[in-house]
Structure 1
Amino acid sequence: MSVQVLTLPGWQSSGPCHWQTLWEQRYGDRRVEQHDWMRPLRGDWLARLDEVLLGLPADQPVVLAAHSLGCIQVAAWADHSRLTARVRGALLVAPGDVEREDLRVLLPGWAPIVRRRLPFPSVLLGSRNDPFCSEERARTMAEDWGSTYHDMGAGGHLNAESGLGDWPVARALLEELKKD
């Protein structure tokens, strides 16, 4: 059975030119839609990921492709879900540092960031000039989660504004996670 890629956008979702949206269109990846993208509630977002996984065939392997708050969602979800064995790996891109005061105010209930090792392989792509997370914090999250860190240079928040298009470099890393 083929691997299902689930995209996990961050706060406010991902627009039409975002790499996640382009991957959904090009490769058939499936977005985990949230009930409220503007006022994200941590518990709701975690439950929604469980719901989507339970709606897939029980033997279908999954790879998560998370951006920003979606990365924080993956760490929190993996800490409590009973469905983590369904996940073959996770691509974590530009995690938002919700412990920073300016983001903590905008996204209440998301701090503290779960810092336990993920129970599946993961790759974290960070930027040297991400306005929502310092490179140092992104590297620390990668270490805490047991993720391989990839320095994407000065790429901003690694989103549509970064001009990545459908981002073949990141897709190649995701394809590696899909393999047995």
Structure 2
Amino acid sequence: MKASTVLLLPGWLNSGPGHWQSLWEAQLGHQRVEQSDWERPLRGDWMARLDEVLQTQAEPVVLVAHSLGCQLVASWASHSGHTARVRGALLVAPPDTEAPGTPPQLHNWRQIQRARLPFPAIAVISSDDPFCTPERGAQMAADWGASLVMAGPRGHLNADSGLGNWPKGQVLLSQLMPQPA
């Protein structure tokens, strides 16, 4: 089986320099999918950009999504004809975009896509994520057919969570990567 490229899918407002996604990009050479507007994310635009980047890859990919990037994966997978190019997805801290108080910039993400993903996935949720209750996170993981990993009280699993380059996340990612024959 071919090796896989890792595509990093940050959430709303992108991932800053201390975020584990940024550290993985710098240290491990993973590729960030840049969006044209991080402040006012339009679902269709983000989906089109993911599809565009995916089609330029020479080998299959593994998606590593944080926050709104998780909703991007679910939405994209329900509409794209290119899902066979994805070997798996690591979905970290999916936000509940249907919750009261969701910022108005995320209005077009309010309906969460809940179809089962057509590739293996692991969802990682925190017991005290301010953007999603553990119950809602677990339900999204179940709907998507993702294995669920509870990270304990780690907030939104971002730079503020003190994860550094998040070795435990790298172990989870390795479970989605093709193993040598």
When the two structures are superposed, what TM-score results if normalisation uses the length of structure 2?
A: 0.96
Q: Does 1:174 align with 2:170?
A: no
> Equivalences for 1:105-144 in 2 at 5 Å?
105-144=104-143
How far is 1:106 from its partner? Answer: 3.4
How far is 1:54 from its partner? Answer: 1.3
Whole-angstrom distance in 1 between the partners of 2:3 and 2:22: 20
Residue 9 of structure 1 contacts residue 67 of structure 1 at CA under 8 Å; is this kept in 2?
A: yes
Q: Which runs of 5+ in 1 are unaligned?
A: none
Whole-angstrom distance in 2 between the partners of 1:167 and 1:69: 19
CA-to-partner distance for each residue in 1:87-117, whole Å, 9 max, x for gaps? 0000000001110121153311112100010
RMSD: 0.9
> Equivalences for 1:67-146 in 2 at 5 Å?
67-103=66-102, 105-146=104-145
What residue number does 1:43 align with? Answer: 44
How far is 1:17 from its partner? Answer: 0.5
Over 6 Å off, 4+ runs: none
What residue number does 1:163 align with? Answer: 162
Whole-angstrom distance in 2 between the partners of 1:140 and 1:102: 20
What residue number does 2:32 align with? Answer: 31
Whole-angstrom distance in 1 between the partners of 2:178 and 2:137: 25
In structure 1, the residue corresponding to 2:163 is in which secondary structure? coil
What residue number does 1:154 align with? Answer: 153
Whole-angstrom distance in 2 between the partners of 1:70 and 1:111: 14
Which is further off, 24-33 or 99-108?
A: 99-108
Residue 67 of structure 2 contacts residue 92 of structure 2 at CA under 8 Å; is this kept in 1?
A: yes
CA-to-partner distance for each residue in 1:157-178, whole Å, 9 max, x for gaps? 0000000000010111101101
Whole-angstrom distance in 2 between the partners of 1:51 and 1:100: 30
In structure 1, the residue corresponding to 2:101 is in which secondary structure? helix
Whole-angstrom distance in 1 between the partners of 2:175 and 2:63: 12
CA-to-partner distance for each residue in 1:6-56, whole Å, 9 max, x for gaps? 000000000001000000011110000000000000000000000101111
Q: What count of residue pairs does the alignment treat as equivalent? A: 178
Whole-angstrom distance in 2 between the partners of 1:90 and 1:10: 15
Whole-angstrom distance in 2 between the partners of 1:127 and 1:146: 18
Q: Which runs of 5+ in 2 are unaligned?
A: none
Whole-angstrom distance in 1 between the partners of 2:103 and 2:140: 17
In structure 2, the residue corresponding to 1:64 is in which secondary structure? strand
When the two structures are superposed, what TM-score results if normalisation uses the length of structure 1?
A: 0.97
CA-to-partner distance for each residue in 1:105-135, whole Å, 9 max, x for gaps? 3311112100010000000000000000000
How far is 1:2 from its partner? Answer: 2.5
